[in-house]
Structure 1
Amino acid sequence: MKPARADQGADGIRGKKHKMDLKLTDKRALVTGSTSGLGAATAKMLAAEGAAVVVHGRDRDRAERTAREIRAAGGVADIALGDLANDEGAAEAARAATAHGPIDILVNNAGFYRHLTWTEATPDEWRDAYDINVVSGVRMIRLLVPAMRERGWGRVVTIGGGLASQPMNTHPQYNATLAARHNLAVSLARELKGTGVTSNVVSPGAIVVEAVQELVMELAPARGWGRTWEEVHRNAVEALVPNDQERFGEPDEIAAAVAYLCGDHAQYISGATIRVDGGTVRSAF
């Protein structure tokens, strides 16, 4: 058998293309913390793949803005409001999310970050970080996953991070919550064995959301990284997050990994951590 030429597929048919259909057109997805950043990018990509999405946040105007952007692009979007850091707010968000149908996909993205030293990170800071970053996700899992189990299909994707396994000496309370998010997602996968519901982690590297770009530009003058974003970007990557791609990631690159895990093609992936970090070897963030 002759090998296929470079302009042919493995089946030897010149120019034949195969489109991956994630089969999300009959699915309903809730993305927590999706009024901006990675959450908004994920909600928009799931909508583009055909899912009806629920944009979650605590501010109605911001949630409605993201939902309008999705609708303007031809997608379907509702909103759900509620503070996931307490039982009442989580229940309120779940009620709104399921008002027009059951949730098939839960993306636990909502989280909270404060750059603190070990001295500044008091026990109260640790408790707040754990409640917002870990228990909030547990609340939504408890509220929404039992119905997925009953229907025999569902996806839970937790957004984690590289600091879960390579923690820094700063913001220890945040590092620890990322590790807990990774751990609970794998434990949930074991719990959901044989149910048709999967649980996975997408672990981003340094992604250029607004807050990250602002932080890097603030650090740039004192560190001599340059003045323009092009200069600063190149030098900041080398100093803070050296990786094989030699750049920061983009929100859509995280969203694409989430979307894949939500589709039918990912049914055999559960309890996994998908790193989307350019091959980061260490982080100084």
Structure 2
Amino acid sequence: MDFQISGKRALVTGASSGLGEAIARMLAGEGATVIVHGRNEQRANQVTENIIQAGGKAEVAIGDLSTDEGADAVAAAALQGGAVDILVNNAGVVSHKNWPDAMPDDWMELYNANVVSYVRMIRRIVPQMKELGWGRVIHIGGGLAIQPIKEQPHYNATLAARHNLSVSLARQLKETGITSNVVSPGAIMNPMVEEWLVNAAPKFSWGTELDEIKYRAVQDLIPNDTGRFGLPEEIAGAVLYLTSPLANYVSGAVIRVDGGTIRNL
């Protein structure tokens, strides 16, 4: 299937590892030139080189999006090679603090890293999309934005803000040819999650075999209709669709890729 993004330029923030890397690889595999953003130059360069070795086109942009200076540097690097058609706002951080120990400064720091960083890139990339008359802005949100839990209140709130700002942006971009949407992942498997599950298994009596541990952890922590954790590539697939002209009629939407974890009509 041709997703019609060959020749497009896509900036993926937080693409030096994990979900962002999976998104960058998939977009490059469909013919887009991907700008791999990260704070760690070595890791970002490695992802960029891997994409090129696989036959894709990739560039690198280094900077800390929690500062105006870092966002300026990333935008300048991304635009140096030409206009950016697609912005995937993925970069962010997680905090496991709870209500008793998440102080106001923690809320401010996380909001800056997870929400204002998105705004910084919107302000630097979207204006030139208006000149193109076409563009895609995709924000990575999360199920905790829709059904928050008692833990990590400040993190839950930043995800909700991402969802909200994305819909607001879609309204602002009415009839410009630019769409703004959210992809909302469920619990995604990665090496860090796998390590945590193995270490936590004795405490929760999840067994000793990895497949059993994963299955029982899903039942206890994130019961869903698929009975498993998601994969980064499954989130990347939803992003790929939204970047495509095939999604011209999708804007202001939240696409949940969570195996049915969030249950609402």
- Shorter-normalised TM range: over 0.9
Per the TM alignment, residue 211 of structure 1 is displaced from its structure 2 partner at its CA by 2.4
Q: Which protein has the bigger helix share?
A: 2
Distance 2:190 2:76 in 1: 30
| 1:34 counterpart = 2:15 | yes
Per the TM alignment, residue 281 of structure 1 is displaced from its structure 2 partner at its CA by 4.3
| 1:121 counterpart = 2:102 | yes
- TM-score for both structures, normalised by structure 2: 0.98
User: Which 5+ residue runs of structure 1 have no aligned equivalent?
Assistant: 1-19
| 1:264 counterpart = 2:245 | yes
3-state secondary structure, aligned to 1:254: helix
| 1:106 counterpart = 2:95 | no
**Letter of the 2:30 counterpart:** E
**Are residues 180 and 281 of structure 1, via their aligned partners in 2, closer, same or farther at CA, if it must alter by over 3 Å?**
closer
Distance 1:239 1:63 in 2: 35
| 1:224 counterpart = 2:205 | yes
Q: Deviations over 1:121-151 (max 9, x none)?
A: 0001000000000000000000000110111
* Residues 35 and 62 in structure 1, CA contact (< 8 A), matched pair in contact too: yes
* Residues 204 and 276 in structure 1, CA contact (< 8 A), matched pair in contact too: yes
3-state secondary structure, aligned to 2:80: coil
Q: Equivalences for 1:75-90 in 2 at 5 Å? A: 75-90=56-71
Structure 1 equivalent of residue 120 of structure 2 = 139
**Letter of the 2:253 counterpart:** A
**Letter of the 1:190 counterpart:** R
More deviation, 244-253/223-232: 223-232
3-state secondary structure, aligned to 2:165: helix
Structure 2 equivalent of residue 150 of structure 1 = 131
Distance 1:210 1:190 in 2: 38
* Residues 64 and 70 in structure 2, CA contact (< 8 A), matched pair in contact too: yes
Q: Equivalences for 1:245-264 in 2 at 5 Å? A: 245-264=226-245
* Residues 54 and 78 in structure 1, CA contact (< 8 A), matched pair in contact too: yes
Structure 1 equivalent of residue 26 of structure 2 = 45
* Residues 107 and 157 in structure 1, CA contact (< 8 A), matched pair in contact too: yes
Structure 1 equivalent of residue 42 of structure 2 = 61
Distance 2:103 2:111 in 1: 12
Q: Which structure's CA Rg is the greater one? A: 1
Runs of 4 or more consecutive aligned structure 1 residues displaced over 6 Å after TM superposition: none
Calculate percent identity across the aligned residue pairs. Answer: 59
* Residues 147 and 262 in structure 2, CA contact (< 8 A), matched pair in contact too: no
Equivalent pairs, count? 263
User: Which 5+ residue runs of structure 2 have no aligned equivalent?
Assistant: none
Structure 1 equivalent of residue 166 of structure 2 = 185
Distance 1:234 1:212 in 2: 13
* Residues 56 and 81 in structure 1, CA contact (< 8 A), matched pair in contact too: yes
3-state secondary structure, aligned to 1:98: helix
**Letter of the 1:236 counterpart:** A
- TM-score for both structures, normalised by structure 1: 0.91
